[in-house]
Amino acid sequence: MGGWEEVRAEVLRRIRAREWVPGAVIPGEEALAVEFGVARATVNRALRELAEAGLLERRRKAGTRVALLPVRKATLEISIIRQEVEARGEVYAHRVLESRMEGVPLAVALRMGVPVGVGMLFLETLHLAGGRPFAHEVRWLNVGVLPGGAVPDFSVTSANEWLVQNVAYATGDIAFSAEAASGAEAAALGISAGDPVFVTERVTWTAEAPITFVRLLHGPGYRLRTMV
């Protein structure tokens, strides 16, 4: 048996075929290395990947066992909205509806971990696909942490894209939910008030300070997809 991918495939086959049942300890790396005729490091690489995928549980000394209730991990690819639109074969455009300095309200302050009323740039943007509304974005931006200091013109490059290019590689957390569109939101998206919208809320941080809070609304028909 050849490389680590073959080892992974064979181990996966044994798990699926229930040759190794959930909860049971499987042979150690050393034993598998001998059986498969590879080095232990190769087995380690294969088992590590399966553990990261949630199919195996590994603990030092205790050994490796097949997960009893495997928590499957699906990976979502978070790309910029322009790419998402263009991937559908449509022409992207965006329009800045609002752009002003404003003190953050309580809900935003709590999420960003800053005091209420801190001055941030408030941005409201409509993203268009083929001229039709695609997503409505509301954003608070901590201009203090921007590289260069000056605030760029977001009507040229959207804040979404500009941030990915210029303050990227930050950490953050994301939440998805379904909500009813408010009157203003519905008007922007060209739907009716009360219609269900797919909401993405994201807070982004550097090591020290919060960068931005975004609330993104997608109208009916939007689907977020992934594979497992």
Partner DNA sequence: TCGCCCATTATGTATAGACATAATAACGCA
Partner DNA sequence: TGCGTTATTATGTCTATACATAATGGGCGA
d(CA 168, CA 138): 19
Our CB check for its own copies shows the closer of 153 and 173 to be 173
Our CB check for its own copies shows the closer of 100 and 227 to be 227
Give the list of residues 6+ apart from residue 23 with CB closer than 8 angstroms, or none: 65, 66, 68
Distance of CA 134 to the CA centre of its chain: 19
Report 168-187 residues binding its own copies (CB under 8 A).
168-180
Question: Which of DNA, its own copies, none sits in contact with 148, Cβ below 5 to 8 A by type?
Answer: none
Query: Which residue in 69, 106, 131, 208 binds its own copies (CB under 8 A)?
Result: 69
Contact between 63 and its own copies by CB under 8 A: the answer reads no
Report 14-53 residues binding DNA (CB under 7 A).
28-30, 37-42, 44-45, 47-48, 51
Contact between 87 and its own copies by CB under 8 A: the answer reads no
Report 117-156 residues binding DNA (CB under 7 A).
none
Our CB check for its own copies shows the closer of 116 and 180 to be 180
Q: Which residue has the tokens 């040229």?
A: 156
Cβ atoms of 54 and 67 closer than 8 Å: yes
Per the DSSP assignment, residues forming a β-bridge with 59 are 63
**CA neighbor of 114 nearest in space, from 135, 156, 86, 142:** 142
Beta strands 171-180 and 210-218, pairing class: unpaired
Give one DSSP letter per residue of 37-61, joined into a string: TS-HHHHHHHHHHHHHTTSEEEETT
Contact between 73 and its own copies by CB under 8 A: the answer reads yes
d(CA 38, CA 61): 22
Contact between 67 and DNA by CB under 7 A: the answer reads no
Beta strands 92-103 and 63-66, pairing class: unpaired
Question: Which of its own copies, DNA, none sits in contact with 182, Cβ below 5 to 8 A by type?
Answer: none
d(CA 157, CA 82): 10
Cβ atoms of 162 and 180 closer than 8 Å: no
Contact between 62 and DNA by CB under 7 A: the answer reads yes
Binding mask 7-36 for its own copies (x = CB under 8 A): -----x--xx-x---x--------------
Our CB check for its own copies shows the closer of 30 and 52 to be 52
**Which residues of the shown chain bind its own copies in the complex (CB under 8 A)?**
12, 15-16, 18, 22, 54-55, 68-80, 83, 147, 161, 164-165, 168-180, 194-199, 206-207, 218, 220, 222-228
**Which residues of the shown chain bind DNA in the complex (CB under 7 A)?**
2-5, 28-30, 37-42, 44-45, 47-48, 51, 58-64
